[in-house]
Amino acid sequence: MEGAGPEILRANSLYHIYESNAEEGNVVALRGLSVSILEGEAVAVVGPSGSGKSTLLKCLGGLMKPSAGSVELAGTRMTRLTGPELVKLRQETVSFIFQDSNLLPHLNALDNVAQPLIHQGVLARPARRRAKELLDRLGMGDRSFGMPEELSGGEQQRVAISRALITNPKLILADEPTGALDPITSREVLDLFDNLHKESDVAFLLVTHNREVASFCERSLELREGRFIAQHGGDVDIGDLSDSRELIVDDSGTVTLPPDVLLQLGGPGRFDVPELKRDILHLERVEEDKVSVGASGKMELSPSCPACFHQYGDSDEQLCPDCGSSRPMVQA
């Protein structure tokens, strides 16, 4: 079903800081980020490694309390709930799927799937019956009694998806759900999501590096350094985000320029605003103050990845195809 209903999730001005005594000090993982997801909508979150995708998902799903900001799930302000109320709301509304399936190693497939219902107080027998129906539907019926370690990666992920579905969630939060799978299994899992998306009114928020995952979503949000900087339509090409990018100015007035836009602007610096109208912001560089690292002051996209040393060659990709890190600008 296409998303058109009321909001299932709304987050306002989320901040998250990981406190640390280490030399590098605290890490600000989310820097004032807002998002709204409608019932039945499928939304992808794309962005480089370390941009805050997993942190965001955990805050949205109530697994972690953000340092500041509010999250409303199905109309209830989660950040105000007490422990038991939060657990109840979470159990009834949202399911998580992680990159590795996170199955309980001492339970077989059937009991792993039944477990969330049993947690909600459903008796074992009806819970197992429902679990078996889901495993059958996902082509795993004959592996019901397999232990996690005896299942392949794709089978484990199908068990994890069955487990995520058994509570009839309104929202599925998935963190790189196909990240650990080979292309064929990954395709199967995606077809499953696609069917679910068409047949039910469950909403998805999916973190992904995978083009095909992003393409089944209605829109993709681009996260960079803890802020959404742009939104893309369903036809997003993760290899070249500049094609479909609509920049986002957030509610604190911040706009973060993607490297390609910054490059076209001639790099960082100070700018005059000779013209300012609704929807039009004209920037004019204050030339003499060009921020230059060295003699030339000209910036270009780095030829190699600072994290994994991938060589970009002639490509103008902005995310490393090997490790997902963002490609910095360097002095020409």
Query: Which helix H or strand E contains 130, and what residues bound it?
Result: helix 124-137
Interacting span for ligand ATP (CB under 6 A) from 46-54, 81-89, 127-135, 139-147: 46-54
Among 3, 32, 40, 52, binds ligand ATP (CB under 6 A): 52
Could you say whether residue 322 binds ligand ATP (CB under 6 A)? no
49 touching ligand ATP, by CB under 6 A: yes
Residue 173 one-letter amino acid: L
Stretch that binds ligand ATP, among 53-61, 138-146, 196-204, 261-269 (CB under 6 A): 53-61
Site for ligand ATP in 150-209 (CB under 6 A): none
Is 95 one of the binding residues for ligand ATP (CB under 6 A)? no
- How near is the Cβ of 153 to Mg ion at its closest, in Å? 18
Q: Are 113 and 166 in contact (CB under 8 A)?
A: yes
Candidate list 8, 11, 14, 29; residue touching ligand ATP; CB under 6 A: 29
At its nearest, how many Å lie between ligand ATP and the CB of residue 325? 9
Can residue 210 be called a binding residue for ligand ATP (CB under 6 A)?
no
Does residue 33 interact with ligand ATP by CB under 6 A?
Answer: no
For residue 54, state whether it binds ligand ATP (rule: CB under 6 A): yes
Nearest alpha-carbon partner for 62 in 29, 25, 93: 93
d(CA 303, CA 311): 6
For residue 55, state whether it binds ligand ATP (rule: CB under 6 A): yes
Residue 145 within binding range of ligand ATP, rule CB under 6 A: no
Nearest distance in Å: CB 125, ligand ATP: 39
Q: Which does 20 bind (CB under 5 to 8 A by kind): ligand ATP, Mg ion, none?
A: ligand ATP
18 lies in the site for ligand ATP, by CB under 6 A: yes
Give, rounded to a whole angstrom, the gap between the first and last alpha carbons of the chain. 49
Backbone angles phi, psi at 289, to 5 degrees: -100, 20
Smallest gap from residue 221 Cβ to ligand ATP (A): 12
Distance CA 285, CA 142 (A): 66
CA–CA distance, 290 with 292 (Å, rounded to integer) = 6
- Scanning residues 54 to 93, which ones bind Mg ion (CB under 5 A)? 54
**Integer Cα distance of 236 and 247 in angstroms:** 14
Residue 154 CA to residue 105 CA, distance in Å, equals 16
- Judged by CB under 5 A, the stretch of 52-60, 220-228, 294-302, 306-314 that binds Mg ion is 52-60
Q: Which helix (H) or strand (E) holds 194?
A: helix 183-199
Q: Does 102 bind ligand ATP (CB under 6 A)?
A: no
Q: Which one of ligand ATP, Mg ion, none interacts with residue 76, CB within 5 to 8 A by kind?
A: none
Strands (E), the chain: 7-18, 27-38, 42-46, 68-73, 76-77, 94-97, 171-175, 203-207, 219-224, 227-233, 246-247, 271-277, 280-285, 299-301, 329-331
In 3D, which of 269, 252, 332 has the Cα closest to residue 295? 332
Task: Say how many residues touch ligand ATP, by CB under 6 A.
Answer: 12
Give contact residues for ligand ATP (rule: CB under 6 A). 18, 20, 27, 29, 49-55, 324
Give contact residues for Mg ion (rule: CB under 5 A). 53-54
